[in-house]
Amino acid sequence: MEAYVLVQTDMQRDPIAASLRVIPGVSSAEDLSGPYDAIVVAAYDQQERPIDEIVDEIMSVPRVTRALVAPVVRSIAGVSNGEAA
């Protein structure tokens, strides 16, 4: 399963994606401009590595103040979460 996680930090604008990429379960992370400072793509398994554990680690990164999770329901290819569209 996959989820996007929108990340806000304190008021500093220093890049944070590199610190997020090293977290187990994070497939990719990019710095953004706008109301959120970074976006993460996280791969998770509710039994082995729940999204809550990944978000807890994201929240433990210095300067992170908020993480908004948006689980992927259906991908552009029509396949997500192991199911066909």
Tens of pLDDT, residue by residue over 42-67, are 999 999 999 999 999 999 999 999 99
Confidence tier at 84 by pLDDT (50, 70, 90): very low
Q: Tell me the pLDDT of the chain averaged across its residues.
A: 90
Angstrom distance (rounded) from CA 34 to CA 27:
22
The distance from CA 37 to its chain's CA centroid, rounded to whole angstroms, is: 12
Residue 75 has pLDDT above 50, yes or no: yes
At the topology level, CATH places domain 2-73 in Alpha-Beta Plaits (3.30.70)
Instruction: Report whether 65 contacts 73 (CB < 8 A).
Output: no
39: tokens are 């976006």
- Please give the pLDDT value at position 69: 98
Residue 73's alpha-carbon distances to 5, 30, 70, 82, 84, in angstroms, are 14, 21, 9, 11, 11
Continuous segment of H or E residues that includes residue 19? helix 17-21
